[in-house]
Amino acid sequence: MTADMDAGTRRVYLVLLLAPLVLLAGLYLFPLSRVLWLSVTVPTPGFGNFERLLTSSAIHNVIWTTVRICVLTTTLALLIGYAIAYAALHLRGWRGELLLFFVLLSFWLSVLIRAFAWLTLLQSRGVINTWLMGAGIIDAPLPLIRNEFGVVLGMVHYMIPYAALPLYANMKGIDPRLVPAARGLGAGPVQAFLKVYLPMSLPGLISAGILTFIFSLGFYVTPALLGGGKTIMIAEYIAAQINDTLNWGLGSMLATALLLVIFALLAVMSLFVDLRKVFGVK
């Protein structure tokens, strides 16, 4: 606010600022604090729920599945996203733009629609299995869903734009003459990529990695549909605690733990990269 603003104008601005703050507090901070509160009060006050985190083998299984899937998803999404971003930047003229358009197109589609589309393709009597059996390549349908394969496939597909777009933005800032310069100095194409381009795109890889990993951790729809209740990630597990077994204490404890893990991850990452850049504030 500028100094020459009179008191009346200032008040108007403050009121305008107040509205979103009240909204944030009411719709976001209050429920969040309720979750935190529930996690240490239900069914009995104390840290009993958090103890389960250490002792329950069911929870350990879910956590392990979640971490495994998230690491796999992030790695694959980064690899594919990197290739797409690189190609989009280096293809001549409209071809690169077309590629980006397709990335954005899948970005705009609802996650639910995409999960159902994968179901249609992958289920036992789905497009792929029917075709493969019709062609006589296989006798029995391949198990493409209700397992980790299906979950990872659906999640990677969803995450590719989140990986490709920050990488694209980062690569756009790399001087296109650096690789030729390295080549001219005696580096082969692979060496030039590994020693010059890859280090230059590392900040983009880290940003994209954080984004996809954190999004993957809380993923619900895709694992629920493509995992078919067999491959259970933490978000689905939390939903089950609250909706089915009505175990609010355990559910809110897991939600709290997930939140804390994400904050911890961000704190660690902030040591290496400027988080304001990752989330586009700067």
Cβ proximity to other proteins: between 179 and 233 the closer is: 179
Site string for other proteins, 129-168 (x = CB under 8 A): ----------------------------------------
**Distances in whole angstroms, Cα of residue 80 to Cα of each of 85, 108, 261:** 9, 19, 26
Shortest Cβ distance from residue 184 to other proteins (Å)? 4
Cα 147 from Cα 227, distance rounded (Å): 5
The two structure tokens encoding residue 279 = 């989330």
**Distances in whole angstroms, Cα of residue 208 to Cα of each of 74, 148, 218, 265:** 9, 23, 16, 14
Shortest Cβ distance from residue 195 to other proteins (Å)? 8
Shortest Cβ distance from residue 183 to other proteins (Å)? 5
Given a contact cutoff of 8 angstroms between Cβ atoms, the answer to whether 209 and 266 are in contact is no
Please calculate the CA angle 262-157-224 and round it to the nearest 5 degrees: 65
DSSP secondary structure, 99-115, as one string: HHHHHHHHHHS-HHHHH
Shortest Cβ distance from residue 189 to other proteins (Å)? 8
Cα 37 from Cα 45, distance rounded (Å): 10
Cβ proximity to other proteins: between 165 and 192 the closer is: 192
Which residue in the block uniquely carries the two structure tokens 């900040």?
203
Cβ proximity to other proteins: between 97 and 175 the closer is: 175
Shortest Cβ distance from residue 179 to other proteins (Å)? 9
Residue among 80, 200, 239, 262 that touches other proteins (CB under 8 A): 200
Given a contact cutoff of 8 angstroms between Cβ atoms, the answer to whether 74 and 213 are in contact is yes
Cβ proximity to other proteins: between 149 and 197 the closer is: 197
The two structure tokens encoding residue 101 = 């358009």
Residue among 8, 20, 136, 199 that touches other proteins (CB under 8 A): 199
Cβ proximity to other proteins: between 32 and 185 the closer is: 185
Cβ proximity to other proteins: between 20 and 199 the closer is: 199
Q: Is 93 in the site for other proteins (CB under 8 A)?
A: no
Cβ proximity to other proteins: between 135 and 190 the closer is: 190
Site string for other proteins, 168-197 (x = CB under 8 A): -------x-xx-xxxxxxxxxx-xx--xx-
Q: Tell me 146's DSSP state.
A: S
Neighbours of 206 (CB within 10 A): 17
Count residues near other proteins (CB under 8 A): 19
Shortest Cβ distance from residue 176 to other proteins (Å)? 9
Rounded-to-10 torsion of CA 105, 109, 111, 114: -80
Cα 137 from Cα 248, distance rounded (Å): 49
Please calculate the CA angle 29-211-205 and round it to the nearest 5 degrees: 155
Shortest Cβ distance from residue 142 to other proteins (Å)? 43
Binding interface with other proteins (CB under 8 A): 175, 177-178, 180-189, 191-192, 195-196, 199-200
